[in-house]
Structure 1
Amino acid sequence: MAQPQQTVLITGCSDDGIGYGLALAFQQRGYHVFATARNTDKMSKLKDLPSVTLLALDVTEKSQIGAAVDAVRSHTGGTLDYLINNAARNHFMPILDEDLDRTRALYETNVWGPVAVTQAFAPLLIPAKGTLVFITSISGYLNVPYMGTYAASKRSIEIIAETLRLELAPFGVGVLSVVTGAVKTMGQTYFGDFRLPENSLYKSIEEIVAAMARGEDGVERMELMTYSNEVVSRIIQGATGKVWYGCHAESTRHGTSHLPTSVLDAGAVKGTGLDRM
């Protein structure tokens, strides 16, 4: 008797992002992929592929999370093999210039949204003895200027993931954090109109901050499918805990463990404009 097709749900699958790359890599290996995004029109590259179901899912909307659970349950009979929490918003702004309402919304998407999705899908993961994956970031280990709020949100969800790894172990569910380095995605295209507040202490270096936000910083980035294929391999091989992948991931892992703070700080501010102020 043929084995039932294994299933994976991935959040944040808009074209050419990490979620898209992971969805494509799983689909090419024979999995049924539930690919989600706030707007299904943004998943045009996945929509006609076999064994891919597109679902509208804003991770901050309880009703949409519930509808996604119902759709998966209807298809599988009540199980899910892999849940990948990838959806997140990127963000750049000096801490002193933050609009706190916007940063609270950022945490709703980057932290509490994945928690809500996990709570909703846990009853499907547990009978499958499945795997729960969180896409986190090396930014949570580096004090990169203008990325403090985003980095804090990504490290926050990683700490939650590490706790879930212990709390879900009695139920046979594995938990993996993929600490992600620099990858070529559409995430660097969202800041074309970046501006600092008029009263910002950093207004004199606004162009440098904006260039960093747009990815015009000379940082090497890994090809999306190179990253995606390797990460999917590690997931289906049963990795749990943390894996580090993407450009600069390994150097960050070693550097933040062994280098003194003064050396890390000097590297972090280089080219950010703060070294000129």
Structure 2
Amino acid sequence: MAPKTVLITGCSTGGIGHALVLEFQRRGHTVFATARSPSKMADLKELPNVHLMALDVVSQVSVDAAVKQVEVKSGGKLDVLVNNAGVLFVMPALDVDIEEARAVFETNYWGVLRVVQAFAPLVIAAKGSILNVGSGAGDLPLPFQSMYNASKAAQNMLSEVLRLELRPLGVKVITLMAGNVATNIAANAPPVEIPQSSVYDPVRSEIGKEMKYSDQPAASFAKQVVDDVLGGSQGKVYRGGNSFIMKWLPSVLPEWAMDYLMLENGRGLKKMPKQ
């Protein structure tokens, strides 16, 4: 396979983007690894064919500057665009600060659209692929994750619509329904500080706990995903720990059974005093 040019957002060390950089680079492709702070991916700077760039998906100025750099270095074409940058947010819906919620959507949804619009001419010129790192969480009503899950549901739908709209232009779009992957996303999330007046005060100590899942190692996850991209996959692709559950259970389990599973993993919601 001829070497491809790949741009990945959100490549800080310890995340999915970082693992994807390593896997694409290992296979001989040229990678533009981006992050808001390039210092957070400094361990990549000595790798052959890896170019570190600053890119903040919530800033049009930053995105446009990145497009110009890639256009020059790649000869006006980009074979693969990976939208990975995202933030986790945990908070009871009744206690969500609206401005904080907007910031979650600004990164997880509007950031994806902003990057796709900006890089589309380069991807179309290459008849390339776009990989949007969505989440199975967008299909699951996990308690206290309403804003994160809603932003991912919106992103998943955007990606699927883009798949249809870009098909006549020769561009493949993958919606990665990511399951549980061993990354530092939870550690990098803002601390959960519910108001003293919250009705969920009785389970305050439970809400901020990191939920325990069967996480897939990031390296093996990245290998599967890169296989999907280079193999020409399109549409929804389920990868990561518990991805089988995310794909099938919502469609086969009755509502009461799904509710039971969500409450069992509901960060203490079952321990709430009955009113």
Paired residue for 1:118? Answer: 116
Aligned to 1:236: 230
Which runs of 4 or more aligned residues in structure 1 lie more than 4 Å from their structure 2 counterparts after TM superposition? Answer: none
CA offsets 1:31-85 (integer angstroms, 9 cap, x no match): 1000000000000221111100011000011111111101111011100000000
Q: For 2:231 and 2:111, how far apart are their aligned partners in 1?
A: 27
| Counterparts of 2:117 and 2:189, CA distance in 1 | 32
CA contact (8 A) 2:88 2:189 kept: no
For 1:75-154, list aligned pairs within 5 A: 75-154=73-152
> In 2, Cα distance between the equivalents of 1:174 and 1:12?
21
Distance in 2, matches of 1:218 and 1:142, equals 16
- 8 A Cα contact 2:91 2:192, kept in partner: no
Give the 3 Å change call, closer, same or farther, for CA 192–71 of structure 1 in structure 2. Answer: closer
CA shift for structure 1 position 153:
0.3
Deviation at residue 190 of structure 1 after TM alignment:
2.6
Consecutive unaligned residues of structure 2, counting only runs of 5 or more, are none
Give, as a single letter, the amino acid of the residue that structure 2 aligns with 1:230. Answer: Q
Query: 1:193 Cα shift?
Result: 4.1
5+ residue gaps, structure 1:
none
Residues 203-253 of structure 1 deviation map (CA, whole Å, 9 limit, x = unaligned): 111111111xxx2x3322111101011111111000000110101111121
Q: What corresponds to 2:268 in structure 1?
A: 273
In 1, the alpha carbon distance for the partners of 2:262 and 2:131 equals 29
Give the number of aligned pairs.
Answer: 271
Amino acid at match of 1:51: N
Normalising by the residue count of structure 1, what TM-score does the alignment of the two structures yield?
0.95
Residue identity matched to 1:81:
D
Write the distance in 2 (CA, Å) between the matches of 1:171 and 1:73.
19
TM-score normalised by structure 2 residue count? 0.96
1:220 maps to: 214
Give, as a single letter, the amino acid of the residue that structure 1 aligns with 2:4. Q
Root-mean-square deviation over aligned CA pairs:
1.2
In the alignment, is the contact (CA less than 8 A) between 1:191 and 1:210 conserved in 2?
no
Q: Deviations over 1:71-103 (max 9, x none)?
A: 111011100000000001111001000000111
Distance in 2 (CA, whole Å) between partners of 1:198 and 1:145 is: 19
Structure 2: distance between partners of 1:62 and 1:191: 23
SS of residue paired to 2:52: strand
